[in-house]
Amino acid sequence: MSSPQTALVTGASGLLGRAVTTAFNRKSWSVTGTGLTRANPPAILAVDLSDTNAVAKALDDVKPSVVVHCAANRFPDSCDANPDAARALNVAATRSLADLTAKRDVVLIYISTDYVFSGAPGEAPYETSATPAPTNLYGLTKLEGEKAVEEAYAAAGGNGKGVVLRVPVLYGKADKHADSAVNSLVDAVWKAQKEKVVMDGWAKRFPTNTEDVGRVIADVAALYTSKIEAGEGEGLPAILQFSSEDLFTKYEMCELFAHLMGLGLDKMEKDTKGNEGNTGVQRPFDCHLSTRALKELGIEVHTQDFKGWWRWELGAPLAAYPDRTIPSKRKYSSSLFQASGEDAGAGGGEGEVGNKYKPDAIANIKITVGINLELKIVAVRSTKLVTTPEGMTRTPYPH
């Protein structure tokens, strides 16, 4: 028997899994994660998702009312390079997990992707009822995972519910930039300071913050479990979609990051050819997802402003300590740079960052949030050049 308001999150140490865990904690749920290479018991259990017995034991020990399946191979190039491994995790492990959760009357929220659609010009936005037609192996394996969830719950015929949540490309707080196809563009901007970098300026992307996705997942979990408990789960939709409305190409994201970091982008070449002549992984042009189904359920679909989030992430840390040395705690890493420093921004290189920043302007901004809650933010602008360990310089974005 499952325990109410208890969640199990697969891939809990990953980009999305951490945000989902945080969202459940904020709603006072009891939440346990699973991981493999980054397990940290008892918060994150070491569970190999290909081991059915290990997964069953985790379910029986935790007794979740909801399982959120975040674990996946979510990089199209990696899926093409290792198709067997991609199918093992994205399809076989999903089918096994769904069989186990369905038999235990658990709500399973399976994280899927906008790449289940072709993204052909003129087709978006896609409703949940649109016919999937993936253009690459990644999208195909995630679609097969969707079908595995549907089939498992149809066969079980119990009181559980299999729910697919499709999301677009994600960004947010990450251990390293490479964890996100969006965050990694910060590294591409730095790389373009030294050498030519070709960047896609064709495909439309709708980058969505993991914190927002986590919030939506927790809201869906609460709604579905309460409806099922009340005997009203029959009409709940099995497919949901969530996306921001912030539209960028990858090249435009790089332009924004370069601006925020005070860097040029002369060595980055904008590629507008799309899939024409591309011998690698085919990418959809526009897979914008409709959020209509969530809205009809009464789930809030607002998202953080992409520019605003990155302005704070890349710019504010450099100006947040006007009168003292920046402490060296948070680590940033990439294949190009290995920077450490709690507020090292996007700058790179090994070692600690210990520059001091003197503000040349301070602005007080008063923001009203909700009812009777006022936040006073002090924005500091610094024009001090920041020297990276590689010898480059940049001017922090003026706040």
User: 366 with 293, same domain?
Assistant: no
Active-site position among 110, 115, 138, 171 = 138
Q: Are residues 353 and 235 in the same domain?
A: no
Indicate whether 323 and 230 sit together in one domain. no
pTM score of the predicted model: 0.80
Of 266, 217, 256, nearest in space to 112 by CA: 217
Residue 224 a catalytic site member: no
Instruction: Let me know if residue 191 belongs to a domain.
Output: no
The residue out of 297, 330, 365 marking a domain boundary is 297
Which structural domain, as residue segments, surrounds residue 219?
6-176+206-245+286-297
48: tokens are 């190999």
Q: What is the pLDDT of residues 132-155, one digit of tens each?
A: 999 999 999 999 999 999 999 999
Same domain, 94 and 232: yes
Residue 218 lies in a domain: yes
Q: Which range is least confidently modeled, 98-102, 122-126, 257-261, 334-338?
A: 334-338
Q: Is the same domain home to 293 and 355?
A: no
The beta-carbon contacts of 93-97 under 8 Å, at least 24 apart in sequence, are 93/49, 93/50, 94/69, 94/145, 94/148, 94/149, 95/145, 95/148, 95/151, 95/152, 96/49, 96/50, 96/52, 96/55, 97/10, 97/49, 97/55, 97/67, 97/69
Per-residue pLDDT reduced to its tens digit, 33-74: 999 888 889 999 999 999 999 999 999 999 999 999 999 999
266 part of a folded domain? no
CATH of the domain at 31: 3.40.50.720
What one-letter code names the amino acid at 145?
G
Number of H helices, E strands in the chain: 12, 17
355 with 219, same domain: the answer is no
Specify if 313 maps to a domain.
yes
